């Protein structure tokens, strides 16, 4: 007998047909796949006879091996193909926004100051072959053009770019674009169909207009830090710069909405996106509590104020999150973890009682979970369909078969840094697949190319360089 090999999705390109009969007894999964020409980097997960396994697992005659692909995204045009974005952003919120647009097919032209460029190019260590890892993480799918916007020749370059732009994105301090001679009304006079998106900490007008904004400042002012951390601990910053990233995400969504509106009206518009706005929008259920009865929520640690058990538990070799939002889930959890005695205790009869006696309940579960490994807790609860998950460090995250299968690791070749990996594109689209097409550009890498596209001759480009305009 042979091993029955089933290749899913994109993996079918490596072998004829979806199902193959392969002589694989005694081989490991990785050895068999190498023999049939399936590269390991294209695979995400392996299932033998219905059970997930590692690449080192040995196969026997009659086994059925299913292999899931690591999705890399489409190579065709994305949803924003044909949309040109003039990118006047730097640091994080703005570049994150324009990266999202680029991932979905937009032609993003990143304007940078000659000689220095986006300040994140200098935010290192860490770096890869001298290139800032921070910069690399948020600037793929863009072209870099160096332009001095204080130089008359540089201003002319920007004018020409705006003439052909669908979108102009900037995250200067409020008032800077006006001082450079490009207030929104002038941009839209140059390009009437252009959508102008302005990203700032606290808005283009009003009391916070002049305030400097960094992620930590906005996380604190927006209320998120007051809700994060342990109940008796200090306010705690979220471990990623989500103040910047959420602002960039909302800005990208608003730009996409404005592009759709332009299809109906023929007109562009001006978008005022703020970091503080993104933070307040995230408050969701906590804001609902405040508006409902005036209660000011405080940090709850890793547990839910209205559901028990819904929290983190420490296993023998790490931590897991367990969430039981109803009686059926609670019962299945108890049986899977050999805690059936809890089912006969009136203190845990329903969610209200479990909340009232949370400390006692937590102690019982903690004692049992501590006797098991993280993987064993997860296996037992997943088998009975109770929501559970390990708390993973980044090494575990990027080795996770689900993360690999969903294409959440993006790879692209960079001329200096080599093969660069970064978080991938978090959505999949059947008709207009997003993709990683360009490496994060070197400073000014596309200056001549883009200037030629907007009508400059080789002699004119040389003169602009000589004059210091580009």
3-state secondary structure of 319: strand
From the candidates 103, 166, 244, 272, which is the catalytic residue?
A: 244
Beta strands in 165-211 (DSSP E): 167-170, 195-200
3-state secondary structure of 308: coil
Q: Rounded CA gap, 86 and 109, in Å?
A: 5
175 burial type by CB count under 10 A (0-12 exposed, 13-18 middle, 19+ buried): middle
3-state secondary structure of 67: strand
8 A C-beta contact, residue 330 and residue 340: no
8 A C-beta contact, residue 432 and residue 104: yes
Going from the C-alpha of 117 to that of each of 8, 47, 114, 121, 126, the distances in angstroms are: 44, 48, 6, 7, 18
Q: Rounded CA gap, 273 and 264, in Å?
A: 22
8 A C-beta contact, residue 74 and residue 103: no
Beta bridge partners, 421, equal: 411
Q: Rounded CA gap, 209 and 172, in Å?
A: 12
8 A C-beta contact, residue 420 and residue 412: yes
8 A C-beta contact, residue 284 and residue 207: no
User: Catalytic: 215?
Assistant: no
Q: Rounded CA gap, 389 and 321, in Å?
A: 5
The residues that are catalytic are: 244
């Amino acid at each position: 007998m042979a091993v029955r090999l089933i290749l899913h999705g994109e993996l079918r390109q490596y072998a004829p047909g979806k199902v193959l009969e392969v002589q694989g007894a005694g081989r490991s999964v990785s050895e068999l796949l190498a023999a049939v020409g399936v590269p390991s980097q294209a695979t995400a997960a392996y299932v033998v006879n219905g059970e997930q396994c590692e690449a080192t697992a040995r196969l026997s005659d009659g086994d059925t091996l299913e292999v899931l692909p690591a999705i890399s995204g489409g190579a065709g045009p994305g949803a924003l193909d044909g949309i040109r974005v003039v990118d006047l952003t730097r640091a994080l919120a703005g570049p994150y926004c324009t990266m999202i647009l680029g991932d979905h097919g937009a032609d993003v032209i990143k304007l940078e100051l000659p000689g220095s460029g986006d300040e994140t190019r200098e935010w290192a260590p860490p770096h890869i072959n001298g290139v800032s890892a921070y910069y690399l993480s948020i600037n793929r799918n863009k072209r870099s053009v160096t332009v001095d916007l204080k130089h008359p020749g540089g201003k002319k370059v920007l004018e020409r770019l705006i003439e052909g732009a669908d979108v102009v994105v900037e995250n200067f301090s409020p008032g800077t674009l006006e001082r450079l001679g490009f207030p929104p009304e002038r941009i839209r006079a140059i390009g009437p169909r252009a959508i102008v998106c302005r990203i700032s900490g606290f808005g283009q007008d009003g009391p916070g207009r002049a305030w400097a904004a960094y992620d930590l400042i906005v996380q604190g002012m927006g209320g998120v830090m007051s809700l994060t951390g342990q109940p008796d601990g200090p306010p705690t910053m979220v471990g990623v710069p989500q103040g910047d990233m959420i602002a960039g995400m909302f800005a990208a969504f608003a730009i996409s909405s404005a592009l759709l509106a332009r299809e109906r009206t023929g007109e562009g518009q001006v978008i005022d996106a703020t970091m503080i706005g993104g933070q307040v929008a995230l408050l969701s259920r906590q804001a609902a509590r405040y508006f409902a009865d005036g209660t000011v929520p405080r940090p709850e640690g890793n547990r839910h104020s209205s559901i028990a058990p819904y929290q983190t538990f420490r296993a023998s070799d790490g931590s897991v999150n367990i969430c039981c939002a109803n009686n059926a889930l609670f019962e299945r959890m108890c049986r899977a973890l050999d805690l059936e005695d809890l089912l006969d205790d009136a203190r845990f009869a329903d969610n209200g009682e479990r909340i009232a006696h949370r400390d006692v309940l937590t102690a019982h579960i903690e004692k049992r979970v501590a006797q098991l490994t993280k993987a064993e807790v997860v296996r037992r609860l997943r088998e009975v369909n109770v929501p559970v998950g390990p708390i993973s460090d980044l090494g575990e995250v990027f080795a996770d078969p689900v993360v690999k299968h969903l294409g959440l690791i993006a790879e692209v070749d960079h001329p200096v840094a080599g093969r660069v990996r970064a978080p991938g594109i978090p959505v999949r689209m059947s008709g207009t697949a997003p993709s990683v097409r360009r490496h994060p550009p070197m400073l000014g890498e596309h200056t001549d190319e883009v200037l030629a596209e907007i009508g400059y001759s080789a002699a004119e480009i040389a003169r602009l360089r000589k004059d210091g305009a580009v």
